[in-house]
Amino acid sequence: MSLKNRKQIVIDANVGRGASDDKRFNPQIAGPGDHSHQCLQAVWEEKHVAVFNRKLRHEWEKHANSHARSWLARMTLKDRILDEEGEQFSEFLDPACSCHGIDAHRAALAKDFHLIQSALATGQLLLSNERAFPRLVADSCAAVAQLGELHYGNPATEGDKCRLWIKAGAEKEPKRRIGVWARNFLQDE
């Protein structure tokens, strides 16, 4: 991929925590940890940029395993980390949370809203192993239309499809819009 086509992707700490370390990585078994590992590798190979903010960086430092830490160090050395707080989007937190009638849902959305802010400020791309989060965001789109601009990938849920999407350029395809993704992948929940 050419450098001009590389994407800016917010990568949740649960991908770093969930990625198989090098000793346990087995692409033939391809469990959820292997998919997270392969997606991090695809981000590296395609020269995409990982987007962080202070809270996300702290989560990575606290939770990432040895493979993910090594990946992050390589990304940092190659200047493929972008720090973006997305503070201009903090005003969306209250309206996004207020459309949820359950306290636990509001709290869950608020806990990870920093991911949304950084994604909206950069490439509108999120990579996470969260399953509830995309539905919470999708349910907030009526109150905050800008949330519908987010595109989502989930290594643990999608398996190799997520890696292939990253390898193909992490394009903003209609099926990757967070609301569409939630409907397609979480329809039985």
Domains identified in the chain, total number: 1
Domain of 143, CATH number, reads 3.40.50
Please report whether residue 42 resides in a domain. Answer: yes
Model confidence pLDDT, tens digit, residues 127-143 = 999 999 999 999 999 99
Please report whether residue 166 resides in a domain. Answer: yes
Please report whether residue 1 resides in a domain. Answer: no
Stated pTM of the model: 0.92
Please report whether residue 2 resides in a domain. Answer: no
Q: Which domain holds residue 21?
A: 7-185
39 neighbors 165 (Cβ within 8 angstroms): no
Please report whether residue 140 resides in a domain. Answer: yes
E strands in the chain: 8-11, 49-52, 81-83, 125-127, 151-153
Please report the pLDDT score of residue 21 as a whole number: 57
Please report whether residue 29 resides in a domain. Answer: yes
